[in-house]
Structure 1
Amino acid sequence: MTLSKIKRNNKNNLLLVLVVILVFLNGLQWLLNDRSSQKKQVLIESKELELVTTYAKLDSISSELELQISELQSMNGHVDSLILIVKELERDKQELLTSKNLANGRYQELRGKVEAYEELLKRKDAEIALLKKTNQSLLDETISLKKEKIDLEDSIVGLKRTQRKMSAKISMASSLKAKDLSFTRISDSGKEKIGTSFKNRRLSRLKLHFTIAKNPISPIGVKTIYLIIATPEGATLYNEAIGSGTFKLNKGEVFYTMKQDILFDNTEQKVAFEYTKDSDLKVGQYTAMLYNDGVLMGEQSFIIK
């Protein structure tokens, strides 16, 4: 074999080795690219599954909150904050639904919200259970009181019996109650006297003081309180000059002496009515009665000598 032929064979062998190496490298590159692509696909599918799972949890929480809102509204509970939370939930759901490239930080934030929402559900469930228990207790008491059959009279003469019947028909857990009712007599000279028995000639103005008892179920807001001062004969002290009028009670209308709008804030606030007499009062026992939303809040009697 000649030297030139040996050189050609060596050159061919070298080319063959290079071709084999290139084929091997190309195959390795393809294999690595394929594995990387498969890995990316797995990560994408995993992220999509997490997004779907998180969306499903938020959707379930939203549905439960709406049910809780409905229950609380039926029991006069506070729902304004829950309505705002449901709206925020809907925005979070929409963001998960429409954002294909949601940043990981934002996604983790949404996942963290799920736990907070679930904790809120537990607290509201406890609140609803307490309200149901309270309402059931009041309902049982009302049913028991309804057994008392007291005839109602439409005239002011029967107002005392009307009050007792209305007390037996209390069905609203949020009704207000007045406590610590007391009277102060103010003379023409401005002298004051606390008591329940006053001389006519020394009485120029009469103040009724009372405190509104706490009621965690009653919503905070403006309340109208009506004062009826019933004479010994059962009539109502009435004077349009001081704002006397009528209000609905037991599907009818009755006269009231004075009324006052207050902002009920559930802090055992103190309230006072001041009645100025326009003529001498008849001797005898008078009864002051306070009403709100057709329900008797409280009553107290005083005597004019």
Structure 2
Amino acid sequence: MENKAPQASNKKLIYIISAVAVVLIAVVFVMYLQNRQEYKAVVEEMTEEKDLLTEEFQTLALDYDSLQSNNDTLNLMLEQEREKISHLIEEIKTIKATNASKIREYKKELTSLRSVMRNFVVQIDSLNQRNQELSEENQQYRKQVNKIQDSYNELEKQKETLAKKVDIASKLETYNYEVEGLNSKDRETKKARNVSKIRVCFTIQKNITAPIGEKTVYLRVLRPDEALLVRSLDDKFEYEEEEINYSARRVIEYGGEELDVCVFYKADEGELLPGTYTVDIFADGFNIGTTTFELK
């Protein structure tokens, strides 16, 4: 009987220990399940935080892409920041969501990049405002330049008009025409076949506005058939921006006072025809007189 009592006590103790062990195992298992759920929730939260951080970097990249500037230096700096953000986005994709220290570093970098972007926005707005001001100033300057140009053009027109008036006022004029045909003995003749010289005499009127000094007077004599009498096709002078032939010429000294002038044309045998001849007189680039004469 004495041996049965201790055996019963041992069995009871074993039951108690087993029960406690089961309870402890159950508690540990329950705590394991709770910790696992908490860890899973933390991982999911950190994964969401990583995804949100990636989205914020991508949004920042789009914001940088929207920045435009006409300044080459500023554009280069913007491009460098865009490349930096692109590299950071790729780096974030490769790290684990549970790497809290790295996530914190990227958050700080994001804050820094946003601050830099705000500075870029301020600079671009300032440049755009300055460009607008310069554009307005440029328009004002252009208007002033156009106004000055218009005034200059008007002055040029007035100058040109005045120059034309001066030219007209300084143009020599002739009168008192006498045209004669002379034979080989320098006697006057009206018969075309006997004329060896044509003498054209006229008077240049007084003109105090005309330039004084040496001048060349040119004659152009047209036959009745409108053929020009010429000694050489190389005998030319300038008239109305063209080189034209002349029949005869003479150099005179003009002093502004009335001056009598005679010019001779030596005709070849058989060159002259009966009929009405036209004589035009030129000097200083102007036609200063016209007259006609008859040969029989």
TM-score, length-scaled by structure 1:
0.43
Bigger Rg, structure 1 or 2: 2
